[in-house]
Structures are given as structure tokens and as C-alpha cells.
Amino acid sequence: MSGVEAFRTEVRDWMAIHLTGKFAELKFRGGSGEGDALPELRKEWERELAAGGWTCPGWAKEHGGRGLSVAEQIAFQEEYSRAGGPGRMGHIGEGLMGPTLIAFGTEEQKKRFLPGILSGTEFWCQGYSEPSAGSDFGNIKTRAKLDPVTGDWIVSGQKVWTSLAHLSDWIFVVARCEEGSIGRNGLIFLLMPLSQPDVEIHPIKQIGGGAEFNSVFFDGARAKAEDVVGQPGDGWKIAMALLGFERGISTLGQQMSFQQELDLIVEIARENGSDRSPAIRQRVAYAWTGLRAMRYLAMRVLSDDQSAEARREALTYKYQWSNWHRDLGRLAMDVLKMDANVVADDPRRERLQQMFLFARADTIYGGTNEIQLNIIAEQGLGMPKEPRGKL
């Protein structure tokens, strides 16, 4: 047995022992459309993972991780998802905030914040999008003004579509710190506690019934001087680096969740006779091949291939998976037939209904289809930016 296969066995065995008892309820929960499901039990599960040494396993040992190789990190993500591991409440801290602090933070910031992420006791959310600055990230309006007496930054503005803000302890915020600056210039990257009186969090009810997204309002809220990552003006650079971490190893775990959804669709199609339709069979085959293509792309991006071609291909990933997943939701509803329109006490049907509703947003958040195509054209193919015409 190879080293990676032995490691897979270790992960499988640990999950089989620990994802039981009170945690059995968490199997396959917290996915598409129910990111706020069973939050307290999922936070407790984070602490269970931490006790077993399974939080932040890809971090270097000097920062508290296991220092796993890329192959081992992929194996962990796949076996975790295969076992039904729930959506991670600590994903933002482990996958985004932690790596950003390791790359750009001061030693004091690392000492303060990394232990809480590792132990599953402090949870983070992401303060990027605003009502007028979603895909157009350079249009940020939230302001950060320096307090000359304390050195703190006083923040005013609004962030929106903030996942799990109501269940988080901290938020990292990109704000405009230079008066008159526009676009990517004059931005600052701040770490802010959410438990302060000048922060209000308003849940946003979703079509599927959940409320995992929020609007976060800052009305003179404060970020301490020591909670600036990098220097004032470095906000764009750090924010973009963080997004690079977002498209890392965890994409393989995402694909395992997609495979489980596809398997469920096939299972129901066989039960209700939908599999006898040539059109349905063709769409299932298309979904299967599309998922395999995503895996090969992700594996290449995560490899040591630093060629220009590999870097260009990486730009296509968000566009690829979001459109694939949206189409999978449509396939699920067509396989369910009339049952797709009925709310019933059937967890399989409910999972696919939630996936269909939530997947409609996949091609919008994180950069709309149109923005993704612009990125591919400009950064991948070297095409000039299209000048904006006058209305």
C-alpha cells in the first residue's frame, strides 16, 4: 500500500469512528443551500476535528498544521466528503484567512489568530461584496478613516452576501482608506471583531428557506491599528492573493459533493423510470464527463505545472464548475418530474431541491459569468478590454 493510500485509510477510519453518535446527524449536511444548518453542532464538530489534528492539515507544521503534501491534502478532502463530512464552519478561517495571515501577517497577528482557527473556536467571514461592488470589486465604497489619537481605523459602510456572518466572531474587510482613490488603489485590509456595538448583521432570507447570507452594516466600527494586514494601500494585493487561496485544494472536496449529488440523481432516475429516457441518459453522461474534466483541470492547477497554459486554464475553473452545477440542478428537477414541485418529508428530494435553488446563484456570486468571461479573454487570451460605450 502506497503512502497516500495508507493515509486515505487513516482518514476513512477516523471518520468512521467519529462521525457517529450525536455527530451522525451531520452527515452530508451544510452543503448547497443549507450552509447555516445545525450551526452549533457543526461548530462542535470543528472542535472534534481539531482534537484529532484534522483542522488545517495543509498548513506547515511551524504554524500548527500537519504539513501534508498536495496529494495527501487531496486525499483528505476526498475521503472527508466521501464519508459524508458536513460543510465546514471553519472553512473561511482555514482556507482563506489563515493562509493570508501566514503569507502577509505580522508574527503578532499569526500568534493571535492562527490558534483560534486551528482549535475550531474562532470563526471568520469575508467582507468583500457591497451593494455596488460585487463582481466589480474595484468599486468598493466602504470607508476606513484613521483615528489620529488611537491609531484605530473607523469603518463606515455596508457589506452584503456575507456568508455566515451571524455565526462568526471576526470579519476581514476591504475598505477604502485614501480619500479620492478609485479602483484598486487606496484600499486597506482590516481584521474586525463582529461583537462591537457599531456593527449590525441582518440575515437575508433565501428562496430555499435558509438565511446563510447577511448584510453587515458598519457605523463607526473600529479595527485596531495592529489589525491591519500589510500596509494601508495594500488592500487590493492582499485581497487578490486571498482569492487565490480560495481556488486551492478544497475544490477537490467540492467535486466530491458534486459527485454525491450526481449519484443521488442517478439513484432516483433508476427508481422512478427517468433513466429510460434517452435525453436523460445523455444529460447524465454529459454531467459525468464534465465532472471528470473538472477533476483533471483541478489536478493540473494544483500540480507543479507553472506553464502559461496551465495558468490560463486555471482562469476557466469558476466558469466551468458554476455552469455545470447549475445544469445539474436542472437535471435533478427533470429526473424528479412532478415530485420536484412538491415539498415532502424526503431528505433525498429536499437535498436536490435545495441544490437546484441554490445553484441558480452559482453563476453570479464570486464573479458573474460575464465577469469570468472577461477575465478569461483579457488575462488568458490577451484580448484588450472592451471600452464601455455611452448609454
Q: What CATH code is carried by the domain that includes residue 333? A: 1.20.140.10
Together in a domain, 374 and 270 = yes
Cell 498544521 maps to which residue?
A: 65
Average pLDDT over residues 11-15: 97
What are the two backbone dihedrals, phi and then psi, of residue 226, each rounded to the nearest 5 degrees? Answer: -80, 0
Together in a domain, 358 and 298 = yes
What DSSP letter does each residue of 256-319 carry, written as one string? HHHHHHHHHHHHHHHHHTGGG-HHHHHHHHHHHHHHHHHHHHHHHHHSS---HHHHHHHTTHHH
Together in a domain, 129 and 222 = yes
Together in a domain, 129 and 66 = no
pLDDT level of residue 194 (50, 70, 90 thresholds): very high
Together in a domain, 52 and 143 = no
Considering the chain, what percentage of its residues have pLDDT values greater than 90?
68
Together in a domain, 280 and 344 = yes
End residue of a domain, out of 66, 89, 112: 89
Highest mean pLDDT among 138-142, 315-319, 328-332: 328-332
Range of lowest pLDDT (15-29, 282-296, 335-349): 335-349
How much is the pLDDT for 296?
Answer: 86
Together in a domain, 225 and 270 = no
Range of lowest pLDDT (30-34, 57-61, 361-365): 30-34
Average pLDDT over residues 228-232: 97
Question: Is 326 within the bounds of a domain?
Answer: yes
Q: Report, in angstroms and rounded to the nearest whole number, the Rg of the chain calculated over CA atoms.
A: 22
Range of lowest pLDDT (164-178, 186-200, 245-259, 365-379): 245-259
Together in a domain, 84 and 10 = yes
End residue of a domain, out of 89, 111, 139: 89
pLDDT level of residue 21 (50, 70, 90 thresholds): very high
How much is the pLDDT for 387?
Answer: 55
Question: Is 216 within the bounds of a domain?
Answer: yes
pLDDT level of residue 165 (50, 70, 90 thresholds): very high
The closest alpha carbon to 157, from 185, 187, 123, belongs to: 187
Together in a domain, 210 and 263 = no
Cell 456593527 maps to which residue?
A: 199
Counting the structural domains of the chain, the total is 3
pLDDT for 248 beyond 60 = yes
How much is the pLDDT for 23?
Answer: 98
pLDDT for 80 beyond 70 = yes
pLDDT for 103 beyond 50 = yes
Question: Is 94 within the bounds of a domain?
Answer: no
Q: Which residues pair with 223 in a beta bridge?
A: 153
Q: Which residues pair with 156 in a beta bridge?
A: 143, 219
Question: Is 286 within the bounds of a domain?
Answer: yes
How much is the pLDDT for 390?
Answer: 44
**Amino acid (one-letter) located at 310:** A
pLDDT level of residue 346 (50, 70, 90 thresholds): confident
Task: Give the active site residue among 10, 44, 246, 378.
Answer: 246
End residue of a domain, out of 235, 269, 304: 235
Question: Is 348 within the bounds of a domain?
Answer: yes
Average pLDDT over residues 162-170: 96
Tell me the angle at which helices 70-82 and 278-302 cross, rounded to the nearest 10 degrees: 150
Together in a domain, 228 and 294 = no
Catalytic residue check, 246 = yes
Together in a domain, 142 and 227 = yes
Together in a domain, 297 and 376 = yes
The whole-chain average pLDDT of the chain stands at: 91
Distance CA(371)–CA(376), nearest Å, equals 9
Question: Is 107 within the bounds of a domain?
Answer: no
**Could you give the count of Cα atoms lying within 13 Å of 202 in the half-sphere of its Cβ?**
7
pTM of the model: 0.88
Question: Is 264 within the bounds of a domain?
Answer: yes
How much is the pLDDT for 352?
Answer: 94
Q: Which residues pair with 203 in a beta bridge?
A: 214
Question: Is 76 within the bounds of a domain?
Answer: yes
How much is the pLDDT for 380?
Answer: 83
CATH assignment of the domain containing 221? 2.40.110.10
Containing structural domain, residue 325: 249-380
What pLDDT digit, counting tens, does each position of 105-141 carry? 999 999 999 999 999 999 999 999 999 877 677 889 9
Sign of the CA dihedral running 298, 299, 302, 305: negative
Cell numbers for 220, please give them: 463607526
Cell 491599528 maps to which residue?
A: 225
Average pLDDT over residues 296-316: 72
Considering the chain, what percentage of its residues have pLDDT values greater than 70?
95
Question: Are the C-beta atoms of residues 103 and 87 closer than 8 Å to each other?
Answer: no
How much is the pLDDT for 247?
Answer: 63
Distance CA(313)–CA(311), nearest Å, equals 5
Tell me the angle at which helices 278-302 and 250-272 cross, rounded to the nearest 10 degrees: 170
